[in-house]
Structure formats: structure tokens, C-alpha cells
Structure 1
């Protein structure tokens, strides 16, 4: 298998005994000679990310798989080999679930949300506690508010409208009187100048 930048092919991860056979570097990824041990659920490929996302954790739940893998790749004594994971504690993930589906759920199998306000207050000992309650208004409340606002505007305008009209009439008379006074004084000045 030749790798290119666009290669996303993966195949089963296996352990090979290549020590007995010398081969060129570009042939190292070929699955020949036959594998000594195929690692269940694990994939290999040109791009480690693609292989990881296509793999699953099946081998990590099997003592046989872990022991066979460790036998071939580990220099540790068998007492230090990894122990299998306990599949009985999983709620949402099956041992053969792909790592991409596990990562899609952020590696969280199950949420346990526990609230203990008394412990929080004992630990933090806040001097003050405030909270905000978001409450949406009902249709009846909004309707009542609109009718009340309309009624308030009507009463307000009925009270203020006569005052506004009266003030505007006073200002109009004052401007009219000032204009007439200015015209008369201008005519008198013209009369004085002509004589």
C-alpha cells in the first residue's frame, strides 16, 4: 500500500514476524507474510488520525487480546501487562463502538449531576447570595399593560391638550402683536425721515 497525502485507506492492525524476512522499506506496509496476530478492532493506515477514528476499543476489553499483544510487543514481565477494561460499568458505549462515535460524545459515557447547596454554602461561605429569575409575561398581562398605557395616554392628552392649545394661542398673539408693533414703529420712523 502506497501512501499519498489524500490516502484515507485503513486495514486491520496486525503483528507480523518480519525479522525472518528482509524487505524493502516501501513494502513494509504490505500485509505479507501472513500476520502472527490480528489485533481486534484496531486499524492502521497512512494517516494515524484516520486509522484511530476507524478503530474501536474491543481489544482493551479482552484479557486474551491484551495478553497476546503484550506478549509480542512488551518487554515487561506478564505481571505488569495491562489489565482489561471492565465493560459492565459502561452505559452507552459498547466495547466495539468506534472511537469516532466515542469522541463525538466527548468520551462521556454517562452524566451524573448532583447538586448539594448546603455543602456549597458551607465550603464557599458566601456573604451574599443573589439570583435572577427570568419570567416571561403572559398574554393577559401584555394586553392589560397596553390598555392601561392607552388609557393613560388618553387621560394625559385630555389634560395637557387644552394647555398646549392655550399656550400656542398666547404665543401666536404675542408674535402677532410684536409684528404689528414693529410694523407701526417702522412706519413712524419712515414718516419722520420723509418729513
Structure 2
């Protein structure tokens, strides 16, 4: 009987904690404009979840591309983006969102700015043209494999023109490569 009373006491004494947890779960950082917006069904979308352990810039790009097909009316688009974005946060990322100050987020622009600031340390710094110039084709490396690596690096470099890319390719190729000889003999434009 004492055990039952003890368990009942524990259940009753934890009720304030339950009430506090329920109250916290109903608080939202969204302003009334966003949280009370009536949003139509955006259609079937495939959006990846973000848990706070990957590149936030990549996640935001992927999200924007995924919701481009959403069928929001113009007046509900901003609120719809906010709600969809938060629905696809989980784990530590969802905890971060729930800790934001109440009534502090009034647009998707504000939400995405706060998101990128929070996870800025995880942003991939990208690839520079120096990474392209540092590649080198090894004597026993198949040309096909090297060109795949070169193309992959080139795709990540922003703002490099074709002349510079071809120069980097010529420099990177093994000096006895038949392909290098061919590049030096003929004029390339791309």
C-alpha cells in the first residue's frame, strides 16, 4: 500500500512539470501573422529533415528547391515556407527552434537568417580555384578517374573561366600523358 501511495505521490508531484512541458510545447517563436495563417495544402513535396549535424546552406538550398513546386497562394507563401521549414527540423535543430524568443520570427527571411547564423560553423567553406590548381594526375592513375575528379572539383569552383580551367587541367596532367600532348597541340575553347 505504501508503494502505491508513493507512486501516486510521484505522479501528482510531477504534474507541474508536465504542465510546464505542455506550455513550452505550445509556445512558438512565430508571430501571430505566421502562426495563425491558414495555409492550403502545398501538394506532395519531398523535403529532407535537418537535425543540426550537416551543412545548413545545403539544407536551405535543398528546401527552397523542394518547395518551389508548392501550391501556396501568394498571401500564404511566407507563412507556408516557415511552417514547412520547421516541420522538417528534428532533434537538436528542433530544440534550437523551440528555444527562440516568442513572437520573434515574422517571415521566412528572418527564420532562414537565424537558422544560418545558428549553424554557421557547419557551413562548407566551398572549393576555390586553388583546389583546382593543386590537383595532379598520377602516373598510374587512369585518365578517366582523374578527369572525373577534376570535373567534380571544377563544378564546385565559382567564377572560374574556361581559359583558367584549361590551364589548370594542362598543369595537373601527368607530363607524359598523351592527353596532355594532345591539349598542347590543338587549340581548345572550352
TM-score category by the smaller chain?
under 0.3
Q: TM-score, normalised by structure 2?
A: 0.22
Write 1 or 2 for the structure with the bigger share of strand.
1
Q: Does 1 or 2 have the higher relative contact order (CA < 8 Å, sep 6+)?
A: 2
TM-score, normalised via structure 1 length: 0.22
| Structure exhibiting the larger radius of gyration computed from Cα positions | 1
